[in-house]
Amino acid sequence: MRLDVVSIFPEYLTPLDLSLIGKARRDGLLDLHVHDLRAFTTDRHHTVDDSPFGGGAGMVMKPEPWAAALEHVVAEGAGAGGAEPHADVPHLLVPGPGGVPFTQAMAHQLAAEPWLAFACGRYEGIDERVYEHAAERMPVTVVSLGDYVLNGGEVAVLAVVEAVARLLPGVVGNAASLVEESHEGGLLEYPVYTRPASWVDGDTVRDVPAVLLSGDHGAIERWRHDERVARTAARRPDLVAAAATVGGLYDLDVTVAVPADAPELLVLQRACWMPEGRVSGSWRIPPLDEELDDVVRGLGEWTTWVVRTPAAGGAPGRLVGSVRGRLRPGDPHVWESGRLMVAPDLQGRGLGRALLELAEAGAPATVDTFWINTGRVSEGNIRRYRRAGYRLLPGEGSFPGSVDLTKRRR
Ligand code: ADE
């Protein structure tokens, strides 16, 4: 992969000589070229900035040096055949707090490209016409490391180059270590431990979790998965929503429901609870009996997640699944899940199970018991909840004609 970086501080990029990235360069896996923007100025003072039109604080980077630098990058790179021929133009990445969020998924996409160029802005930014100029010549993406402001793009380039380069074949020795890390599969990494198994830390003895010493690889894998889900739920609930699209359902979008979702929720719940009404001989089942106002009110009392097919042509996707969860009122130890529903054409593909896991992952740390309720006649639901680890409680459930099921949190 060829990389070009344009900056007024080329020395900022010297860490790319170090460690695995430095080795990848020496091994010929990365062909990195750093360019000084000031080399493309034409005045005696090598001026790269000027005051903003319209007034305001700070300085703006002038367009002409940028156009010259990009032209140089394209000409130099396109002429360099090398062992790995690449595209005619690079994909230009401009780091900035106003960009699209840089993610592991984007790192994977960029790692598949033959040639990336980076334009490091400083001051208040680069004259907007540079983006237009560049976009007429090459793909351009403004990328942000996060919702905070750095002094310039160089630190972001270091981060992006490291995240991308380590995905190239041969850069990281043990490819397996790339699979089980944070953000792969949409979850954060599980906790890791090494010797000693029992660490005497002053007055405290800190033991490694016993399961890791058990030699039971199945149990270790389950423990690690549970830890990833729990850690992600605690630190990054936004990612848990995305991770719920397991079981080959990666193309679905999961969001927390808003009142505008209520009409579709009402339609879906009536469709999903019809069979139960028919078998039980009663339509006085809450999901069937509710009106739109009740559904909207429920959104305020529960956290409700909705699953949609991808938006297309400006229209939102179809609402095909939902689940909701909440702390039992007055009891911080019990997490109630409910209204688990999947559109008829998507049933039997693991979406229901994934939604239940999503609702459980939303439970705060105080929770030690998961609770769910279903119709006594809903044998399929009871079977599914049992498979998910729930136990049927004896006697009548919390509503007439229903049963309650619970499971201990692991
Ligand atoms: N340049 C300044 N702030 C930045 C950010 N948050 N991400 C990427 N580049 C930046």
Of all protein residues, the one whose alpha carbon is nearest to atom 10 of ligand 1 is 96
Confidence tier at 16 by pLDDT (50, 70, 90): very high
- Residue 151 CA, closest ligand 1 atom number: 2
| Position 245 in a domain | no
Cα separation, 2 vs 263, whole angstroms: 51
Pocket test for ligand 1, best of 144, 154, 158 (most atoms within 8 A of CB): 144
How high is the pLDDT of residue 247?
Answer: 43
| Position 283 in a domain | yes
Q: Are residues 288 and 392 in the same domain?
A: yes
Mean pLDDT (the chain, rounded): 89
How high is the pLDDT of residue 362?
Answer: 83
Q: Are residues 257 and 128 in the same domain?
A: no
Whether ligand 1 lies within 6 angstroms of the CB of 147 is answered as: no
| Position 190 in a domain | no
CA of 203 relative to ligand 1 center, distance in Å: 44
Q: Are residues 369 and 232 in the same domain?
A: no
Confidence tier at 363 by pLDDT (50, 70, 90): confident
| Position 193 in a domain | no
Three-state SS at 205: strand
In this prediction, what percent of the chain has a pLDDT beyond 70? Answer: 92
Q: Which residue has the higher pLDDT, 380 or 85?
A: 380
Three-state SS at 208: coil
| Position 17 in a domain | yes
Q: Has residue 280 got a pLDDT over 70?
A: yes
Q: What is the mean pLDDT of residues 253-280?
A: 91
CA of 130 relative to ligand 1 center, distance in Å: 18
Q: Are residues 138 and 220 in the same domain?
A: no
- Residue 146 CA, closest ligand 1 atom number: 6
Residue ranges making up the domain that contains 211: 198-236
pLDDT (tens digit per residue) in 227-245: 887 888 788 877 765 555 4
Q: What is the mean pLDDT of residues 27-37?
A: 95
| Position 243 in a domain | no
Helix axes 292-301, 262-280, angle to 10 degrees: 110
Q: Are residues 93 and 217 in the same domain?
A: no
How high is the pLDDT of residue 400?
Answer: 87
Q: Are residues 296 and 398 in the same domain?
A: yes
In this prediction, what percent of the chain has a pLDDT beyond 90? Answer: 62
Element (H, E) at 282: none
Check which CATH number belongs to the domain holding 139 and give it. 3.40.1280.10
Q: Are residues 170 and 282 in the same domain?
A: no
pLDDT (tens digit per residue) in 42-67: 999 999 999 999 999 999 999 999 99
Query: How many CA atoms lie within 13 Å of 288's alpha carbon, on the beta-carbon side?
Result: 15
Comparing 13-22, 60-69, 124-133, the range with the smallest average pLDDT is: 13-22
Q: Under a CB-based contact definition with an 8 Å cutoff, are residues 153 and 119 in contact?
A: yes
Whether ligand 1 lies within 6 angstroms of the CB of 145 is answered as: yes
Q: Are residues 168 and 205 in the same domain?
A: no
Pocket test for ligand 1, best of 92, 155, 160 (most atoms within 8 A of CB): 155
Whether ligand 1 lies within 6 angstroms of the CB of 179 is answered as: no
Q: Which residue has the higher pLDDT, 251 or 254?
A: 254
Whether ligand 1 lies within 6 angstroms of the CB of 144 is answered as: yes
Q: Are residues 37 and 98 in the same domain?
A: yes
Confidence tier at 84 by pLDDT (50, 70, 90): low
Residue 13: both structure tokens together: 């990029």
Query: How many CA atoms lie within 13 Å of 146's alpha carbon, on the beta-carbon side?
Result: 5
Whether ligand 1 lies within 6 angstroms of the CB of 96 is answered as: yes
**Which residues face 219 on adjacent strands?**
none
| Position 19 in a domain | yes
Number of domains observed in the structure of the chain: 3
Whether ligand 1 lies within 6 angstroms of the CB of 146 is answered as: yes
Of all protein residues, the one whose alpha carbon is nearest to atom 5 of ligand 1 is 97
Q: Are residues 157 and 12 in the same domain?
A: yes
Check which CATH number belongs to the domain holding 294 and give it. 3.40.630.30
Q: Has residue 97 got a pLDDT over 50?
A: yes
| Position 246 in a domain | no
Lateral strand order in the sheet of 91-101:
31-36, 2-7, 115-119, 91-101, 140-144
How high is the pLDDT of residue 98?
Answer: 93
Q: Are residues 394 and 299 in the same domain?
A: yes
CA of 103 relative to ligand 1 center, distance in Å: 14
Q: Are residues 14 and 122 in the same domain?
A: yes
Q: Has residue 250 got a pLDDT over 60?
A: no
How high is the pLDDT of residue 241?
Answer: 58
Whether ligand 1 lies within 6 angstroms of the CB of 149 is answered as: yes
How high is the pLDDT of residue 246?
Answer: 43
Comparing 14-28, 97-111, 182-196, 361-375, the range with the smallest average pLDDT is: 182-196
